[in-house]
Chain A
Amino acid sequence: MVLNLPVYENAVKLEIIKLLVEDLKIPVQQGYLMSRDRLGIPLRTFLIDQLRGKEKEVFLLDFRGVDEMTTSVAEELGPHLVENFLSIFYESKANNNSLFIIYCNLSKEVRNGLDTAMKTWPSKINSTRKIVAVGFNQDGTNTSIDFFVIGELPEALRETILQIYKLDEVKSSELDKLGIKASSRKLSELMEDYPWLVRQEKQRLSGTSKAWSYVYKPIIKIVRNVAI
């Protein structure tokens, strides 16, 4: 049983193994990925080329079939890829577009590899802002979809994000009710420093014509009662 991630808006699934074998012609054996120069860099470049020039799309980096990878490959497909993606993300944001990436179908070893790589990667963008991304576990079923943040994130923000992904759609006031203190400030901080992790949308308040509030949503909607 694998995780079913339905289309939120325009979603493009990029299957890592398929790309390697069919597009890059790299013979990957049993899902063990090695070599920065021969595999990591070509694949990252290919993925970034796919992302460039796209509008309002979610890219699902599907690691189905990848059992393990070396540190250097994890760095290329993890922090280095996210770093490259962020420059595209901010460009698209300036043009009022929304472009996202999400890691899915991660095995335990791959998740650990990406997590370590993200935490140790020397970020060139901002020394205070960490390189992080969102991901899902390998065998998500309707009852056991496991969402997580890959990389190092302040605990308060991590908790806030987890609530957003758990509830699918939340407002600041709802987070307050759930016991998250100073949720408004945390959400502002989240959108300031890590806007590629969640969606922020304006929602008209009921009963009024002009008043609105922000709602926060996951990058991708998770259907919890359907699994394929």
Chain B
Amino acid sequence: MILPTRVKPRYYVLCGNWDLPTIEVAMRKCVCCDELTDHDDPTCNYCFYLDAGWKETLISRNQGTPVIRSSISQYEYYTTSRVKPEIDHMQYRLNLSSFGDTIEFGFHLSKIQAIHDSSPTTEMEVILDTSSLAYDWDYSYDFDSERDVFLPPSVPLISLVEAARLSQILQGIKNVTLKLILPPQDHAVASFLLQSELFSMVQPEAISFSRDRHDPVHSPGCDDVLVPLTYIGASTSGQLSSRFHSYFDSLSDAGLIKENFRPMIRNVIMEAAENADFWGGQGWIACFLRQEKRGKANWGHDEGNYFDPKRETHLFLHVFSTGPSLAQSVGCESEWDAADRVTAGFSARSLYGGSGIPNILRMITQNSVGTAFMISGPYTRIISPDGLVREFMTAGSEYLPGLHLGAVIPLAVISELGNEQIEIAGA
């Protein structure tokens, strides 16, 4: 016999006969259906809603696994998401800023899906507002268009790629349409977003530009700072497009990447893209060259210190899928177990003789070329070439399906900078 009570913040229920010893069962209230459910199970017994925040708390409490809280708490997410229910049309506005991360996007996706599930036939419009990115773009010092400079350090690349992952998932939900608000048309970040094609799934007629006031900005002098988001899947027969390869060649030239490193980096991308295609059914790839320092004082450069943009630039490789997570692909119960196995050399493709992620990690980290990271479900692991591993669990990202595999490689390691004459800042 279950005697529910709704008085105490943590619920205890007495089970059994009064004459027999009683068993104390801890209960909690589901945030979705308001029913009492098992305290130690993050999934509600009634509505089967997975409370990722509660799961995070349980892990933190029981296993001592480090948990990093999201910048947006679940409470905030419920109160700040702006949903305007109308008769036949709903609108969900999502502000994409430098502070946006996988965690936030996961919560947003969960909310959008919940709203959609409550009324599946109603048209829903998701507005992706990127206008605030205009305030993060700081290129005021690098105004010389003749000089090769790369994407500014303030561009939130990983966040934008994760936003692209969210957008691809939203695109697949029936009756959900995407709208995109870009920064003002004359702003450099607007051209960057258009050129990067991170939101290419949005129809051109659904793209608009904001009219916010902003400081004057300058476009980078280097044209080959990125490889636009490229699709791989059944329609491309699992092959990367020729456009991808020509963009990659241009990017390699712009970054002065050594000839012997180019096949290796391309191979990493090809292996990761094949992984995404094989496990997720489709995948997306993007690459960027981003400066990690500005060419002005107060950023580690004084009069006696020379600034060379390339020397301060990193190559970012991003490959993501929207299918199963790493644990689902590898056949492990938890994401961290799966990450442990793949970093130890196990490959799910080894069933057929292949070696996907271990091969990628070997090429990137074990060769001391750069840092690799993987975001899968609630788990993120960053693997540095020095063997240092950082890992953390985040609640919201659990809602985001798929796997995001990336690498950050300093150009100073893979380029021909040693053979170049160093430029003097401002000269």
Contacts and interface: CB of A to CB of B under 8 A. Distances in A.
Contact of B241 (A29, A68, A69, A80): A29
Interface stretch (B35-43, B216-224, B270-278, B398-406): B270-278
B299 interface: no
Contacts of A75: 352-354
A123 to B, nearest CB: 10
A117 B263 CA distance: 17
B240 interface: yes
Interface in A1-52: 26-30, 32-39
Interface string A55-79: 0000000000001111110010001
Interface residues of A, number: 27
Given A26-B237, A29-B245, A35-B239, A71 B263 contact: no
B359 interface: yes
B263 A34 contact: no
B267 interface: yes
B352 A34 contact: no
A70 B278 CA distance: 13
A120 interface: yes
**Interface residue range, chain B:** 20 to 34
B266 interface: yes
A75 B352 CA distance: 9
A151 to B, nearest CB: 14
A34 B270 contact: yes
B249 to A, nearest CB: 9
Interface string A177-194: 000000000000000000
B394 to A, nearest CB: 31
Interface in B228-280: 232, 234, 236-242, 244-246, 263, 266-267, 270-271, 273-274, 277-278
A109 interface: yes
Interface of B: 232, 234, 236-242, 244-246, 263, 266-267, 270-271, 273-274, 277-278, 349, 352-356, 359
11 contacts: A28-B239, A29-B244, A32-B270, A34-B273, A35-B237, A37-B278, A68-B263, A71-B354, A71-B359, A117-B353, A120-B353
